[in-house]
Structure 1
Amino acid sequence: MKKAWSSSILRRAAIVLIHALLWTAAFHLALQLRFEGGAISEPFARTWPYALGLLLVCRAVAFYAGGLFHGLWRYAGLPELLNLIKTTTAGSVAFVVLATMAGVPMPRSLYVGEWLASIVLVGGLRFAIRLAHEQRQGRRRHPDALQTLILGAGDAGESLLRDIQRMPDRRWEVCGFLDDDPLKRGALVRDVRVLGGADEATLRRVVVEREVKLVLLAMPTVDGPRTRDIVRICQKLEVPVRTVPSISERIEDFSVATIREVAIEDLLRRAPVSLDVEQVEGLLEGRTVLVTGAGGSIGGELCRQALRFKPGLLLLLDHSENGLYFIERELRQRFPEASVVPLVCDITDRGRLDALFRRYRPEVVIHAAAHKHVPMMEANSPEAVKNNVFGTVAVADAAHASGADTFVMISTDKAVNPTSIMGATKRVAEMALQARAEASRTRYVTVRFGNVLASTGSVVPLFREQIARGGPVTVTHPEMRRYFMTIPEATQLVLQAGAIAERSEIFVLDMGEPVRIVDLARDMIELSGFTPDVDIKVEFVGLRPGEKLFEELLLDDERYARTPHPKIRVGKIQPTARERLERGLSGLRAAADANDDAAVRRFLAELVPESTLSPPEAATVSAPALSPAPSPA
C-alpha cells in the first residue's frame, strides 16, 4: 500500500513539474514575441521573474481545482480540451488581478500571448500522447482481422469506429463507411472513408471489392423496414450483420461490447418514445405506487420504468410468488436506494386486497394483472370473468376506498368488437371503471394497445422455441395481422397516459401499422440463419376459437381526440347505463361462481352486444400447439 501511495505521489509531482516547465516555456515565448530583439526593456526586465513565479502559482492552483493533474493523457478528448481552456483562462485572470495588486507591471500583450501559448503547449502535449497511444494500439491488429464495413457515418458510427480502433488486439479492420447522407460521401471519419450511400447496389459493390466479412449497422434511429432490407441484402451476400443498440436501449453511450445480433425488434423498430418527464414525475415522484401483476413481463417493466421517476414507495402485487421474487430481487439490485415492498395477493381476494390498501394507502395504482391468453380463456371462461372483471372491480373499489388519486388499467385491442372471452371480459372491465368514475374522486384511466413483443407467452418466444427445435413454425392464417409494440415503449406510454389524464378516460396508443404474423415468422427464421420453407417450414393450422384475423383499437362509431402526446389518443367512448351494467354484472358473477360457461357467454354477450363469442362447445375443441395471440395485459 505504501509503495503504491509513494508511486502515486511521485507521478503527480512529475505531472506538476512538466506543467510548470510548459508554462515557463509559454511565458518566455510570449516575452520573446513581445520584445522582438530579445532585450527586455525596463521595468519589465526586473519584474518578470516575480511575474513568472506568480503565474506558476495561479496556474497550479487553477489546474488542481479543475482536476487537470489527475487525468490520463492517453484519453484526452474534447471535454478535457474545453476544461483546459476554461482552467487556463481562470489562472490567467487570477494572474492579471494579483500582478496588478502586487505592483508587478507586465505588458498587456504578454497576458494574451502567454494564455494562448499555454493552451497550445499543454493541450498539444496531451493530444500528442493520445495520438501516440492510439497509433501504438492501431499496430496491434490481429492477423486474422475481419474486413468490416460500417453502415452509418454519424455519431454512432464514429463512436463505434473509435472503440474498434482502441481494441488492444482487434479482430475487426474497418475498411469503410456507407451512409445515406450525400454530403458525407467521400469524407474521412478517423481516416476511414465514406465509400458511398447505403443503397443495395453500393453495398453489393463494396462487399465484393473490399472482401467484406462483417457488416455493422450503426444507424440506431433507422426504421424497421430499412433494417429488414439491409439484413436481407447481407443474407443474400452471405455476410453476417450486427447492430448497435437504439437510443432507448442505451443510457449514455455504447461500445464494442454492446454490438449484438439483429433481433426481430429491430425489424419492427419504431421511432423512440419521447416522454414528458415533468408530467410523469408529477404522477410518480415521491408517491406511493402500486403495480398489480408486477411479476409478469408488462407489470415488471412498469416497475422498472416507474422507479426511474423516484416514487416514495413501490408496492409489487402479484399472486405468483416466483414472479414476485424475481422482480423484487432485480429491482433491489438495480435500484438499491428505492423502497420496494412485495405483496403476495390474489386480486379476487377482497379481504386481503382491502387490508393492503388500508395499510399502504397507494396514491397511484397501475393495474396490469389479468388472464390474457385467448385460447386458454375460451376453455376457462368463469376464471377469465373472476379475474379480468371482478378482480379489476375489487382493485378499483379498494383504490376508491383508500383515496387513491389515479387508477390506470391496461386493456387490449381485443376489447373492440370482441370475438373472445378474454376480449369481452376486458371490455366489461372498461365499462365497470367508467361507471365507478362517475362517483369517485379517483381518476380511472384505461389504456388500450395491442400485442407486446417478447412478453410472456407471446408469439415471439414461441417462434424462437419452434425454430430451435427445427420447426415447423405454426401460424394460424396467412392473413393474420397484429399490432405490435416493444415492452419498454408500451409501458412508458402507459405512464404517460396516466400523467396526462384529466379525468376518467380510455386512451388508445398509436400502434403503427399491423404486421402479418407469417412475415414475422419468416423474418425470425431468416434472422436465425435459416431459409423459410427450405430449412424450416411455415405451417398454417387455422384460426382457433376466439381469434380474428384483424385487431381494432376503436369501434366504427367511436371517435377519438388527440392529446398533447403524438402517440396517445383519447377515445370518445360513451359509458354504459348504470342499471344495465349492474344487472349484467350481477348475472355474470352468479354464472362465474356456478362455473356455468354457457351462462357466462350469454351475460357477456348481453353486456357487450357488439361481441361475437364462440358457442360453448367450440371453445372446448382441442387444438395443436399454435402461435398464441395474447393481449398485452
Structure 2
Amino acid sequence: MNSLYKSNIYQKYRGILISLIDVCIVMFSYLVAYMIQNNFFINEKTIALTKLLALGLFFMLLLHFIVLRLFKTQMSLWTYTGPNEIIRTFLSCFVCFLIMSYFVIKVDLFSIELIALAELLCFIFLLGARMLYRMARRYIVDVDRVDNCLIVGAGNGGYLLMNEIYHNMAYPYNVIGFLDDFKKKGTMLSGKPVLGTISEVERICQENNVRCIFITISSVSDERKQEILDLCTSTSIPTKIMRIFVGNDESNHISFEDIDIKDLLNRPSIDLKIDQIGSYLTNKVVCVTGAGGSIGSELCRQIIHFNPSKLIMVDINENALYMLKQEFLVMKRKKQMNDSIQLESLIVSIREREEIYKLMRNYKPDVVYHAAAHKHVPLMEDRPTEAIRNNIFGTKNVIDACCDCGISRFIMISTDKAVNPTNVMGATKRMTEMYMQSRNTKGGIHMAAVRFGNVLGSNGSVIPIFKEQIKNGGPVTVTDKDIKRYFMTIPEAAQLVLQAGFYANEREIFVLDMGKPVRIWDLADKMIRLAGLVPGKDIEIQEIGLRPGEKMFEELALEMEECHKTDNNLIFVHEKMDIDSKEVDSKLNKLNELMNQTDDKLQIKEVLMDMIKE
C-alpha cells in the first residue's frame, strides 16, 4: 500500500483519480435518489434513455467534476478528513444543487425534489467514502500497535497528540486514555477515556501495562510541572514531554521529546537584557580562549547571535576547534547566522606568553572571554604543577596581554570551587581571581570573573559518565550518598556570563544563582529511571568514597549571602577588593621557583593553599 502511495504515477495523477472516484459516487447517489423516488420500482418506461436524458446526465457529471475541483476536494488527504473537508464538500454539493435546480426549471428534466435528495446523498456518500477509508487505514495501522501509552493532560495538547499518534507510525502506540486533574473520570476525548488524576499515574500504568507516557501539559506553574515530571519518571517508564518551539517566522512547532535530566532540575527561567549584551558585542571583535571546551564553545554560539564583526576562537585542542568552526560554516550556508561575521580559529596555548601577546596586538579584540583552564579535580591533584602552569600562569599571560594591549573588556570564567578551596583546581582558580583583582584598571579595561558550579553535560562531567555507566549495564558510581552539587545547563551558564560581562567594571567577581543543590545520589536515581530502568533492580548505584580534594558541599549559597544582587535576579556581585599587586606578584614568583626546584605534590599544594588565605 505504501509503495503505491509513493509511486510517481500515483503522486502525479492522484488528483484526477480522486475526482473520477467522486464523479462515480455522484452518479451512484443520483441513481439511488432516482430509485428512492420511484419506490425502487423500475420498468422499461422508467429507464428509457433519451438523448435529452443522456445530455442531462453528462451535464450533471461534468458540473460535479468542475465544482468539486474548484473546492479542491481532490486535494484533501482522506486519512485526515475533518471539519474543513466537511465544509468544502457541503458547499460543493450546495452549489451543484443551486445550478442543477436552475436548469431543472428551464428544461424540466428532473424534479427539484430529486435534485435535493441526490445532492444530500452526494454529500453523505462523498464524506462516507472518506471516513470509511480513514477508519480502514487506521484499523490496518492499529493492528501493529501492541504497546500501550498514556497521555497526561486531556486538553488541546492531548487532543493533538492523540491524532498524531494514530496518523503517524513514528508513534506506534495504542492510547489507553488520559490523566487529568481537572477532567472528570470517565470523560471521553476523541474516543478515549480520562482514567484518573495525575497522582494515580503509577497505579494506572501498572494496571494497563503502559510502555510510554506522554506529557502534554504546558499551562501549569513551574512547581506543578516539576511534580508531574517527578511522578511520571518515578514509574521508570519512558516518558516524553511536549515542547513548543517558536520559529523564525513566529510560527509554533510542537514536538515530543524524551525528558532530559535538565527538565528535572527545576531551573529558573533566565531574563536576559539583550540590549545590554548587544551594546558591548555587536560589531565588535570578540575573542574566546578555550573555545573548543563546553563553556567556551557555547559562549561562541551565543555570541554570534549578537553579530560581532569578528569572532576569534582560541584553543590548543585542534579537533574541537575545527569542529566548532565547521558548525558555524554550516550555519552560514543555511543562513542561520550573519554571513558578515568573520571567523578566526587559532591554535594557541595560553601558556605561550609571546603568542598570546601577538594575538592581542594583531587582532586587537574589544572583548576577551577567558574560558581556557584545566578543570578536573582528581587529575589536578595528581599534577598540581600542570594546574598551576595552565590555570594560574596561563591566565596571567592573558590578563597581562589584555592590560598591556588596550583591550576594553576582560571576563574570566571561574568556579564555585574557588570558595574556600580544598583542592588544587579550586586553589588555582582563586589565585587567578586574586591576580585579576590586583591589576591596575586605570587604563580603562573593564575586568571581572564569573563563578558558577557544575554545568550539565560538559565534557567529563557526571552526566555523561552516568549515561555511559547506564548504557553498559551499571553500576552507577557515586562518591558519597550525601554529596550535593549545584548544576546549571551549558546554555544558561553562557547566557549569564554574557549578561555579567555587561556589568563588568573594576575587577568584580560575579556569582551566578545555581538554584538548589542537587543530591548526586538522587541524580543517578532519576537518570536510571529516565532510561526506563529500576534503580537497585536493573542498575545498581554504588558508593565509592570521596576523591582526593573533593568537598561534600560546595559553598556557593553561603557566598551569595555576602554579595548583592544586580538588576538580574540570577547574578550576584562581590565588589572589587584592593589586593596589593606587588604581594601577589611576589607569591607567583615564589610559586614558580618552587615548581622549578621540586615535584613534591604535597609541598606544592601546601604552599599554594597558604598563598590564597585571605
Partner of 2:298: 301
Q: Distance in 2 between matches of 1:414 and 1:335?
A: 38
Match of 2:551 among 537, 548, 557: 548
User: How much has 1:175 moved relative to structure 2?
Assistant: 4.5
Contact persistence 1:289–1:362 (CA under 8 A): yes
Q: Quote the offset at 1:185 in angstroms.
A: 8.1
Are 1:291 and 2:288 an aligned pair?
yes
Structure 2 match to 1:317:
314
Aligned residue for 1:472? 475
Q: CA deviation at 1:369?
A: 0.5
1:559 pairs, out of 555, 559, 562, with 562
1:507 aligns with 2:510: yes
CA shift at 1:283, angstroms? 2.8
User: Aligned-pair distance for 1:286?
Assistant: 1.9
The structural deviation recorded for 1:537 is: 2.9
CA pair 148-391 structure 1, distance change in 2 beyond 3 A = same
State the shift of 1:278 in Å. Answer: 1.8
Q: What is the CA distance between 1:598 and its match in structure 2?
A: 5.1
Uncovered stretches (5+) of structure 2, i.e. residues with no partner: 1-7, 20-70, 85-126, 334-338
Residue 607 of structure 1 is aligned with which of 597, 607, 611?
611
Q: Could you tell me whether the CA contact under 8 Å between 1:377 and 1:384 is conserved in 2?
A: yes
By how many angstroms is 1:467 displaced?
A: 2.6
**Partner Cα distance (1:185, 1:559) in 2:** 52
Question: Which whole-Å deviations, capped at 9, do the CAs of 1:461-517 have from their partners, x for residues lacking one?
Answer: 222222333333222222211111111111111111112335432111111111122
Larger radius of gyration: 2
Is residue 172 of structure 2 the alignment partner of residue 171 of structure 1? yes
Q: Is 2:573 aligned against 1:576?
A: no
The answer to whether the Cα contact below 8 Å between 1:362 and 1:402 also exists between their aligned partners in 2 is no
| Equivalent position amino acid for 1:425 in 2 | T
Judge conservation of contact 2:277–2:502 (CA < 8 Å) in 1: yes
For 2:257, the aligned partner's letter is I
- The match for 1:366 is 369
**Partner in structure 2 of residue 259 of structure 1:** 257
Structure 1 residues 177 and 277, CA gap change in structure 2 (3 angstroms): farther
TM-score (norm 1): 0.68
2:233 to 209, 231, 244: 231
Q: Structure 2 matches for 1:398-437, cutoff 5 A?
A: 398-436=401-439
Partner Cα distance (2:209, 2:535) in 1: 27
Worse-matched range after superposition: 315-324 or 537-546: 537-546
| Count of matched residue pairs | 493
Report what 2:265 is aligned to: 268
- Which letter maps to 2:314? L
Correspondence 1:241 to 2:239: yes
3-state SS of paired residue (2:556): coil
For 2:413 and 2:530, the matched residues in 1 are separated by 31
Which residue pairs with 1:526 in the alignment? 529
1:280 and 2:277 aligned: yes
Give the letter aligned to residue 153 of structure 2: G
Identity between Structure 1 and Structure 2 (%): 39
Partner of 2:104: none
User: What is the SS of the residue equivalent to 1:308?
Assistant: helix
**Shift in alpha-carbon separation, 1:311–1:165, aligned structure 2, 3 A:** farther
Paired AA for residue 150 in structure 2: L
Q: What is the letter of the counterpart of residue 266 of structure 1?
A: D
Amino acid at match of 1:506: I
For 2:512, give the aligned amino acid: L
| Contact 2:246–2:252 (CA under 8 A) maintained in structure 1 | no
Task: Find the partner of 2:498 among 495, 500, 505.
Answer: 495
Distance 1:303 1:174 in 2: 43
Is 1:142 aligned with 2:139?
no
Take 1:303 and 1:158, find their aligned partners in 2: how far apart are those partners?
Answer: 40
Give a deviation string over 1:288-337, Cα, whole Å, max 9, x none.
11111111111111111212222221111001111111111122213442
In 1, the alpha carbon distance for the partners of 2:297 and 2:510 equals: 21
**Any conservation in 1 of the 2:415–2:453 contact (CA below 8 Å)?**
yes
Which residue is 1:21 aligned to? none
Amino acid at match of 1:569: F
Give the CA deviation at 1:372.
Answer: 0.5
Q: How far did 1:342 drift?
A: 0.6
C-alpha distance 543-150 of structure 1, shift in aligned 2 (>3 A):
same
CA shift, 1:211, in A, is 6.2
> How far 1:160 moved relative to its partner?
3.6
